[in-house]
Amino acid sequence: MKIRALAAVGVATALVLSACGGGSDSDDTAGGSGEAGTGTIRLWLNGEDTPQELVDYAKAEFEKQNPGSKLEFERQQWTGIVEKLTTSLSSNGSPDVVELGNTQAQAFEAAGALLDITDKKADLGGDDLVQSLVESGSYDGKFYGVPYYGGARIVVYRKDFFKDSGIEIPKSTQAFVDAGIKLKQDNAKTKDFSGIYYPGKYWYAALPFIWDNGGDIAAKEGDAWVGKLSSPGSIAGLTTVKTIMDSASAAPKDADESKDYLDFCKGKIGMLMGPGWKVGQIINEDDGCPKLEKDIGAFALPGQAEGTLAPSFLGGSNLAISAKSEHPELAYSLLKIMAGDGYQTKLADLGLLPVKKTLLDQVGGSEAATAQAEAAANSRFTPASENWAGVEAGSVLPDLLVAIAQGKDVATEAKTADEAIATALNQ
């Protein structure tokens, strides 16, 4: 999942004039019916989540389906990608197809930096696409970004610790919290041991508890957004989070989850909440612990009622065509390949979550993949506002959770967060 804050919220707005005023000199349009012609198109993917073998597959398919055309691939880094896209999508040298984190996408859609592909939605998967990712690729009733892959958060745990403590896989929220507390107590001799690792800034992990209690981050009432973190349901969810922080976790109160796998490998964590690919991070050969693989299990986070699942935050990416692409028809050809069953099935074989509901059961192999598919079927997303990036940039949710972790009053801090969210979303 690729979720990064917009470091400069207003920067996307700066795209408006340049992107809308741009356009290609080519006769090609994504909605056109004429020949696509030939050319070289550029694809930007971010981070290391897309294996090279998938890139090679996309390149081979594209060049086979478009004789005489070439695909150039450039791997970008997630750090600083918003600023880089802001500059690149408004330039005459814009990449043709770009990957956007799903909490970043709507800012670029609202800015007019991406090509409207509403008339192609059905051909790209239509109702079979995972809805929460479709929402991030949509703005003002139009479709701009086809979902690329998803990552629902699950629970990753140590089977040997569970066995030693006589714990079964929890079937309810209360059982999950109780298991975390017991694991922490049973491993008290291990310094900084967490039954459930919960660092203060980990806002993605708070959302399932809020949603499962009927709460929410914000809701639109009439023409205005209203913060909902101080609603009774949200307070109940945040109180559960505080219980975990206080009684089951020894994680830093002011840190995020990015280095949790290191403590997991050191035997200091019984359970953590992370995207499905977290297991791969834990057992990686560079700084992970591949020897632990046989002791690692995974399950979807249970809900309040026994046997139910809590709604999971679904992170992920979208693929979009630059409004300034000189070859939009060729770019669309690539988009269709990468959203197609062939590519998405290969993606599932590698343990990544495909974006078509009919392919979710194709995720290969591990308990983590199975748990991720279960969680994704019951997933939700952040408020569908082009100004959501302002909430992330303002660190509203991490600040709220850090304050709660440090012992401040839940209801008071939630009300403060609501005011900040309403201000950001109603700009």
Q: Indicate if the pLDDT at residue 315 is higher than 60.
A: yes
Dump pLDDT digits (tens) for 368-378. 888 887 887 78
Dump pLDDT digits (tens) for 251-290. 999 999 988 999 999 999 999 999 877 887 898 888 999 9
Dump pLDDT digits (tens) for 397-408. 999 999 999 999
Q: Indicate if the pLDDT at residue 62 is higher than 90.
A: yes
Q: How confident is the model at residue 90 (pLDDT cuts 50, 70, 90)?
A: confident
Mean pLDDT of 129-135: 82
Please compute Rg for the chain using Cα positions.
Answer: 22
Place of tokens 């066995």: 163
Judge whether 108 and 320 are in contact, CB under 8 Å. Answer: yes
Supply the pLDDT for residue 351. 67
Comparing 83 with 234, the larger pLDDT belongs to 234
Supply the pLDDT for residue 409. 97
d(CA 97, CA 89): 10
Mean pLDDT of 408-413: 98
Mean pLDDT of 228-236: 98
Dump pLDDT digits (tens) for 163-212. 999 999 999 999 999 999 999 999 999 999 999 999 999 999 999 999 99
Mean pLDDT of 26-50: 69
Q: How confident is the model at residue 82 (pLDDT cuts 50, 70, 90)?
A: confident
Lowest mean pLDDT among 92-106, 176-190, 299-313, 412-426: 92-106
Count of beta carbons in the 10 Å neighbourhood of residue 326: 20
Comparing 125 with 353, the larger pLDDT belongs to 125
Count of beta carbons in the 10 Å neighbourhood of residue 365: 11
Q: Indicate if the pLDDT at residue 27 is higher than 50.
A: no
Task: Using CB atoms within 10 Å of the CB of residue 218, give its burial: 0 to 12 exposed, 13 to 18 middle, 19+ buried.
Answer: buried
d(CA 327, CA 27): 9
Supply the pLDDT for residue 11. 41
Mean pLDDT of 291-303: 95
**Residues 6 or more apart whose Cβ sits within 8 Å of residue 305:** 172
Supply the pLDDT for residue 36. 61
Judge whether 364 and 351 are in contact, CB under 8 Å. Answer: yes
Q: Indicate if the pLDDT at residue 30 is higher than 60.
A: no
Comparing 92 with 335, the larger pLDDT belongs to 335
Helix axis angle for 341-349 and 52-65, nearest 10°, is 170
Supply the pLDDT for residue 372. 84
Backbone phi and psi for residue 385, each to the nearest 5 degrees, phi listed first: -130, 140
Mean pLDDT of 315-338: 94
Supply the pLDDT for residue 382. 85
**Closest Cα partner for 101 from 124, 122, 84?**
84
d(CA 424, CA 420): 6
Q: Indicate if the pLDDT at residue 243 is higher than 60.
A: yes
Q: Indicate if the pLDDT at residue 245 is higher than 90.
A: yes
Residue 76, beta-bridge partner list: 46
pTM of the model: 0.76
Task: Using CB atoms within 10 Å of the CB of residue 197, give its burial: 0 to 12 exposed, 13 to 18 middle, 19+ buried.
Answer: buried
